[in-house]
């Protein structure tokens, strides 16, 4: 076990991650190589009444780390695939890209997200909205077992049969109940998909929105999609031809045949000429190209709402606030939910009756954070009539837990919290578990 304190050589390097907009200042950083190191770190914190945070990739930052103990799990990167059982055992620091590559030779795939660099365990604890989520549900729906160090320093092997209350609370509750050191997840028999994106010029945005919302009512559950509207920033990693352009992109992932995929997207292609069309058949190992999320660490802030419905008028109000005339640069995304995401499961992933997830994200380099928050307040006020709550996975940089859970789920989490972490050692770990 390697430890760092502020001022030590290696302290800043160990804290560095994908999110550069917020600084962590824990008293102690524990670079864990395995579950025994995690147990020692938790016991140390418990003896001194210090909060405990967890970080793998640094996509999301743990609020509990400030002034306390941060467990860095990036060295815990083991992956073991059981092709016969269609499962993978993944350790706490593993990124989705490694799991995808490990499963592919067997014609299998995990319920991974849009970005291969995101930490698999924390992503799944927050629910896990994946590339093929409408067909297979949340990543949390496919978890068979979890190894977790709870506040008493014990390493527990948790399943729906052995400890059903803790199992159900961990899946959807994030790291608020302990440090998950490993997870066994189910894999699905998917080796290829039809997918990619259609990008349109800003003048067609209104037609793109109208067509997309109508189209989502017609597609099968085997098709998962999303809409992204933005002015491309003038930064080096954006192709020169796109910088400064206002565009709307529809992202598609479909597990059926390429021929049927082509038929399903015909109404989208009929919108008008596209700036870019990457729709094609691809191996699942290339599924990250559907969204092509940025890979470079940067500063950002974001939030979301889970909406029971979204009308064209709702979308127009949203884009009027976040479009080219907005005082704050914003990416606006709408993800189509439903299908298997709406099926009940014995865990704490909430708001399953939502039909859309609406996400806003803004870069913070040169941007005033209060101005970003003020804009988001307007956005979410406009969407309040259709809002059910928020998704834990898409709270980037915000510590407000309001709306994350419905009242019954909140009560359930509180009961489990009282049993397993009465001293609130992990009290602030609801903050942004997007693949920490």
Polymer length of the chain: 436
Residue pair 51/69 in contact by the 8 Å Cβ criterion:
yes
Q: What is the 3-state secondary structure (H, E, C) of 369-398?
A: HHHHHHHHHHHHHHHHHHEEECCHHHCECC
With a CB cutoff of 8 Å and minimum separation 6, the contacts of 428 are 51, 53, 62, 63, 64, 399
Residue pair 67/51 in contact by the 8 Å Cβ criterion:
yes
Nearest to 62 by CA among 416, 418, 400, 399: 399
Which pTM does this prediction carry?
0.95
At 295 the pLDDT is: 85
pLDDT of 334-354, one tens digit each? Answer: 999 999 999 999 899 999 999
Find tokens 């509990």 and name the residue.
64
* Coil/strand/helix, residue 179: strand
Task: Tell how strand 192-201 and strand 300-307 pair up.
Answer: unpaired
pLDDT of 84-132, one tens digit each? Answer: 999 999 999 999 999 999 999 999 999 999 999 999 999 999 999 999 9
Find tokens 């192709």 and name the residue.
239
164 is written with which tokens?
A: 């059903």
In which band, very low, low, confident or very high, does the pLDDT at 382 lie, cut at 50, 70 and 90? very high
Dihedrals φ, ψ of 76, to 5°? -90, 80
250 is written with which tokens?
A: 């529809």
At 419 the pLDDT is: 96
* Coil/strand/helix, residue 332: strand
pLDDT of 395-436, one tens digit each? Answer: 887 556 788 999 999 999 999 999 999 999 997 554 344 444
pLDDT for 173 beyond 70: yes
Strands (E), 135-239: 143-149, 155-158, 179-186, 192-201, 223-231
pLDDT of 176-196, one tens digit each? Answer: 899 999 999 999 999 999 999
At 436 the pLDDT is: 44
pLDDT of 251-294, one tens digit each? Answer: 999 999 999 999 999 999 999 999 999 999 999 999 999 999 98
* Coil/strand/helix, residue 198: strand
At 64 the pLDDT is: 62
Query: For residue 61, what are the CA distances in angstroms to 262, 282, 428?
Result: 40, 33, 11
At 63 the pLDDT is: 66
The span from the CA of 250 to the CA of 303, in Å, is 20
Q: What number of other Cβ atoms are within 10 A of residue 423's Cβ?
A: 12
* Coil/strand/helix, residue 360: strand
Nearest to 191 by CA among 103, 94, 93: 103
- 433 or 83, which is more confident? 83
At 243 the pLDDT is: 87
pLDDT of 201-243, one tens digit each? Answer: 999 999 999 999 999 999 999 999 999 999 988 877 788 888 8
């Amino acid at each position: 076990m390697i430890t760092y304190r502020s001022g030590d050589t290696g302290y800043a390097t160990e804290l560095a991650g994908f999110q550069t907009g917020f600084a962590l200042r824990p008293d102690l950083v524990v670079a864990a190589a395995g579950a025994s190191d995690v147990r020692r770190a938790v016991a140390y914190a418990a003896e001194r009444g210090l909060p405990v945070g967890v970080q793998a990739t640094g996509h999301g930052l743990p609020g509990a780390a400030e002034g306390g103990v941060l467990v860095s799990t990036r060295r815990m990167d083991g992956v073991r695939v059981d092709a016969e059982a269609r499962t993978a055992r993944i350790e706490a620091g593993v990124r989705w890209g490694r799991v995808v590559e490990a499963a592919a030779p067997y014609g299998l795939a995990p319920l991974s997200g849009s970005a291969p660099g995101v930490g698999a365990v924390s992503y799944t604890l927050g629910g896990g909205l994946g590339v093929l989520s409408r067909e297979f549900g949340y990543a949390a729906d496919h978890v068979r077992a979890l190894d977790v160090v709870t506040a008493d320093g014990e390493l527990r092997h948790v399943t729906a049969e052995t400890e059903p209350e803790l199992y159900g609370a961990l899946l959807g509750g994030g790291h608020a109940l302990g440090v998950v050191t490993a997870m066994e997840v189910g894999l699905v028999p998917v080796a290829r998909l039809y997918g990619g994106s259609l990008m349109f010029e800003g003048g067609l945005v209104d037609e793109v929105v109208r067509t997309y919302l109508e189209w989502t009512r017609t597609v099968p559950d085997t098709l998962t999609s999303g809409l992204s509207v933005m002015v491309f920033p003038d930064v080096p990693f954006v192709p020169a031809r796109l910088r400064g352009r206002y565009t709307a992109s529809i992202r598609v992932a479909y597990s059926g045949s390429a021929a049927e995929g082509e038929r399903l997207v015909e109404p989208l292609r009929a919108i008008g000429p596209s700036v870019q069309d990457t729709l094609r058949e691809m191996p699942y190992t290339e599924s990250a190209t559907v969204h092509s999320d940025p890979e470079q660490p940067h500063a950002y802030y974001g939030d979301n709402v889970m909406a029971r419905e979204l009308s064209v008028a709702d979308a127009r109000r949203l884009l009027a606030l976040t479009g080219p005339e907005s005082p704050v640069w914003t990416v606006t995304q709408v993800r189509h939910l439903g299908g298997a995401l709406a099926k009940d499961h014995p865990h704490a992933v909430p708001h399953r009756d939502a039909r859309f997830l609406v996400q806003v994200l803004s870069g913070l380099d040169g941007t005033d954070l209060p101005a970003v928050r003020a804009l988001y307040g307007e956005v979410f006020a406009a969407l309040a009539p259709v809002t059910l709550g928020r998704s834990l996975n898409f709270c980037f940089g915000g510590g407000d837990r309001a709306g994350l859970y419905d009242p019954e789920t909140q009560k359930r989490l509180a009961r489990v919290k009282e049993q397993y972490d009465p001293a609130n050692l992990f009290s602030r770990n609801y903050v942004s578990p997007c693949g920490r």
